[in-house]
Amino acid sequence: MTEKASESDGVFLDRLTEWQQGDFSIGCGDLLFRDVSELTDEGEDDGGAVFDSEIVGFAVISQTCDVVREPGCVRYVSVCPLVFVDAKRMGEIERGQAPRFGFLSATPDGVVVDFSRTMSVTKDLLVSWERQRGCEDERQQVEFARALETFFGRFAFPDAFVASVASLRKAILSKHPKGGSDLGKALRSIREFRAYPHQSWSNKDAVPVSFIAILEDEEKRELANREEIRKQIWPKISAIDWQGPFSLHEDGLHLATLNDLTAADYLNSYPLDVNSLSFARRYIA
């Protein structure tokens, strides 16, 4: 290897190490995907290449450790498109009702990350883009990573369970943003709802379910008293019209902080898709 080539490789690696998960670039090309194409002479259709030029840019979703590794070890980086959304859609995202989209603090107004579409690019292409920092601090990095986890790691609850908790989900999503009600204050004192099945989800006979409400740290709660929080939430849980084999366990609601829970409690329970109470919150400047 010549001295000039070695110097060039050093510059490339230096530029690569500047990138991290959540960084983005504007106006750097089209999204490539495959769609139905014309049949071949053999009567087969393997899909054709399609370019979407309507996107704003790309955001990196690969983990930072994979991004900065030498291309000889990991050659590609996964990116998702940045897209414009209207005010109505933006409101749904801010309320946690559209987990397919994620926020980055430095993107233009109305621009979000569309997690439902991904594309691989080489690191040579990545370092040719004009990088912009998407997450300003560690807190935002964690929230973006958790938004990715929420979308790509969502558990597929049985249909009968989803139908059963529809009323609870509706109550949470409608009251969480509203400042005046005690129920809204109670919900804003909770960071996450999880469901704990006392039998396998696939059990056809009976699946009693408990709910775990993970509380915010005490200084962040709008209602500090646990019993007051329980008093506001329990009527919504006890009113659930259960379908199929599902029912409310005798110990139906457990309020706890993360410090109160065991690892088994957390790993054996499943986050409910009510993302106004999870990690899809919009960054606050």
Query: Could you state, in order of their start, the residue ranges of all structural domains in the chain?
Result: 3-152, 160-277
Does residue 139 surpass a pLDDT of 90? no
Tell me the pLDDT tens digit for each residue of 19-62.
999 999 999 999 998 888 766 666 677 778 889 999 999 999 99
User: pLDDT > 70: what percent of the chain?
Assistant: 87
User: pLDDT > 90: what percent of the chain?
Assistant: 52
Please state the pTM of the whole predicted model. Answer: 0.70
The whole-number average pLDDT for the span 60-89 is 93
* Residue 144 CB-density burial (10 A; 0-12 exposed, 13-18 middle, 19+ buried): buried
pLDDT given for residue 172 in this prediction: 80
Q: How confident is the model at residue 92 (pLDDT cuts 50, 70, 90)?
A: confident
Specify the range with the lowest mean pLDDT, choosing from 18-32, 114-128, 140-154, 269-283: 269-283
Strand-pair partners of 78 = 120
pLDDT given for residue 285 in this prediction: 32
pLDDT given for residue 40 in this prediction: 64
Q: What are residue 242's phi and psi, to 5 degrees? A: -75, 145
pLDDT given for residue 41 in this prediction: 64
Which one is predicted more confidently, 166 or 40? 166
Return the number of other C-beta atoms located less than 10 Å from residue 203's C-beta.
Answer: 14
The whole-number average pLDDT for the span 117-127 is 96
255/233 Cα distance (integer angstroms): 10
Specify the range with the lowest mean pLDDT, choosing from 66-80, 127-141, 215-229, 271-285: 271-285
Helix, strand, coil % in the chain, rounded to nearest 5: 30, 25, 45
Tell me the average pLDDT of the chain. 86
pLDDT given for residue 91 in this prediction: 82
Which one is predicted more confidently, 198 or 155? 198
The whole-number average pLDDT for the span 261-274 is 86
Q: How confident is the model at residue 279 (pLDDT cuts 50, 70, 90)?
A: very low
Q: How confident is the model at residue 178 (pLDDT cuts 50, 70, 90)?
A: low
Angle between helices 226-238 and 166-175 (to 10 degrees): 140
Does residue 156 surpass a pLDDT of 90? no
Q: What are residue 232's phi and psi, to 5 degrees? A: -80, -35
Q: What is the CA radius of gyration of the chain?
A: 23
Q: How confident is the model at residue 177 (pLDDT cuts 50, 70, 90)?
A: low
Whether the Cβ atoms of residue 13 and residue 74 lie closer than 8 Å to each other: no
Q: How confident is the model at residue 179 (pLDDT cuts 50, 70, 90)?
A: low
Q: How confident is the model at residue 133 (pLDDT cuts 50, 70, 90)?
A: very high
pLDDT given for residue 199 in this prediction: 94
280/152 Cα distance (integer angstroms): 13
Tokens of 37: 């194409």
